[in-house]
Amino acid sequence: MNKKYITTSLIVVITILLVTVASLLLYIYSVSEEKGIYSSELSFEEDLSQVMNDDLYNHADNIEINEQATLTEEEISDLLYMREEEKLAHDVYTALYSEWGLNIFSNISNSEQKHTDSIATLIEAYNLDDPYMQAAGEFSNSDLQELYDQLVETGSESIIDALKVGALIEDLDIVDLENAMNRTDNQSIISVYENLQRGSRNHIRSFTSMLERYGETYTPEYLDYEEYISIITSGHETGNGNGGNGNGGNH
């Protein structure tokens, strides 16, 4: 009788322990899912790495640049500004990767370095004074300096805020590149701008896709809403680095 009672008691205790362990594992998994440790983030990051392979080269290396061309003041101003705006994207993403450890920021920051390098090639070819400052988070342009400080502060509040900052930077970049293209007829400059803009469209798709995984959305601040929706609902664009817009460009 006592032996049967002890056996029954052990079974009850073991059952309780198993239920407790199962509940704990379920809780750990749910928290990890919320933070993006499990779920489908791994496959997303693998997809993102593939996206970045298209954009990890200097877009000015494989084009013919007429170094004797005379640039207008607007063309010069735009080149110098875009040189630092692409650096801003790189530096913000680097800071947010340090803050949150999401690979999307590391991967896209590598792409942004190639973007600013592409502009640097044009600046050197046309013998312009390069405004680029080597120190991370430092800019010659005071407006970009203020914007950098603001975006890093906002992106440090939460992962969601960080991803929205990423989407906003690409939103701004697409529009600024579009405006710069409308102010030049220099085909070398247009070719580089087009490739950078294609990269930015891919980047904003990546950020908005990641936001969707957290149940969040981004509302554009610079793009027309219709154009924004058209971008994020279309597929990844590829390009050969020699001008053109891949399979989704507008120029």
Q: What is the pLDDT of residues 123-161, one digit of tens each?
A: 999 999 999 999 999 999 999 999 999 999 999 999 999
Same domain, 119 and 198: yes
Q: Which is more confident, 51 or 80?
A: 80
Over residues 76-134, the pLDDT tens digits come to 999 999 999 999 999 999 999 999 999 999 999 999 999 999 999 999 999 999 999 99
Share of the chain above pLDDT 90, in %: 66
- Distance from C-alpha of 241 to C-alpha of 251, rounded to nearest angstrom: 15
Cα–Cα distances in angstroms (integers) from residue 57 to residues 23, 82, 96, in the given order: 49, 17, 23
Lowest mean pLDDT among 36-50, 85-99, 198-212: 36-50
Residue 225 in domain: yes
CA 224 to chain centre: 20
Strand, coil or helix: 248 = coil
* 49 pLDDT more than 80: no
Same domain, 81 and 196: yes
Domain count for the chain, please give it: 2
Residue 190 contacts by C-beta under 8 Å, 6 or more apart in sequence?
Answer: 181, 184, 243, 251
Same domain, 23 and 61: no
Nearest of 59, 68, 177, 66 to residue 119 by alpha carbon: 59
Same domain, 75 and 194: yes
Same domain, 212 and 144: yes
Residue 245 in domain: no
Same domain, 63 and 104: yes
Same domain, 55 and 95: yes
Task: Give me the domain span that covers residue 213.
Answer: 40-232
- Mean pLDDT, the chain, rounded, equals 83
Q: What angle do CA 176, 205, 178 make, to 5 degrees?
A: 20
Average pLDDT of the residues in 66-74: 94
Q: What integer pLDDT is reported at residue 26 of this predicted model? A: 59
Same domain, 173 and 91: yes
Q: What integer pLDDT is reported at residue 56 of this predicted model? A: 64
Residue 250 in domain: no
Residue 61 contacts by C-beta under 8 Å, 6 or more apart in sequence?
Answer: 121, 241
Residue 242 in domain: no
Quote the tokens at residue 71. 């640039």
* 58 pLDDT more than 50: yes
